[in-house]
Amino acid sequence: MKAKLTLVLALMLALMACGKQEQKLSNDDAMIMKFIVDTYNSGMYVDYDFLETHCSPALLERLQNDYPYEYEGVAYAVWDFRTNAQDNKSENDTTYGIITVRADGNGWYSYEFFDSGYRGINRVKASIKDNEVTFEELETVYDETLPAKK
């Protein structure tokens, strides 16, 4: 029941946000924005094969550098795509999913999301080549689990 309520809430918020977007999206923007939603909502960003197919070499290197633990072989800081939440915000708030995605221009997209009840906003630079989306850069804009920047 909680999962259905969470999904309905996320869809309602996404539809409300879509209504506010005044600019007409290009086919590439629409494809990338859908890909961001699918990637986050289905958790594909934790799959190394997925990352190696859909992240630029520079972003893969950054994800490796952000991985702070000793590891033999390749390891990626997959949590860079979400908040720093280690646990649910509360027992009753396990909300997870995209709230909105916005095309910012010049290949940049912002996505607002819930992660275990915590709100976050990331920006990702993405492109399409041979009908495949590639994430090139990733930035954290806001993470509810972190102290506010002064």
What are the boundaries of each domain within the chain? 2-20+27-143
pLDDT digits over 7-60, tens only? 434 444 444 455 444 468 899 999 999 999 999 999 999 999 999 999 999 999
Which pLDDT score, from 0 to 100, does residue 11 have? 45
2.170.220, 1.10.260, 3.10.450, 3.30.1490: which CATH number matches 2-20+27-143? 3.10.450
Compute the half-sphere exposure of residue 144: CA atoms within 13 Å on the CB side of its CA.
14
Provide the terminal-to-terminal Cα distance of the chain, rounded to the nearest Å.
40
Contact between 115 and 146 under an 8 Å Cβ cutoff? The reply is no
Which pLDDT score, from 0 to 100, does residue 5 have? 41
**Spatial distance between the Cα atoms of 83 and 51, rounded to a whole number of angstroms:** 18
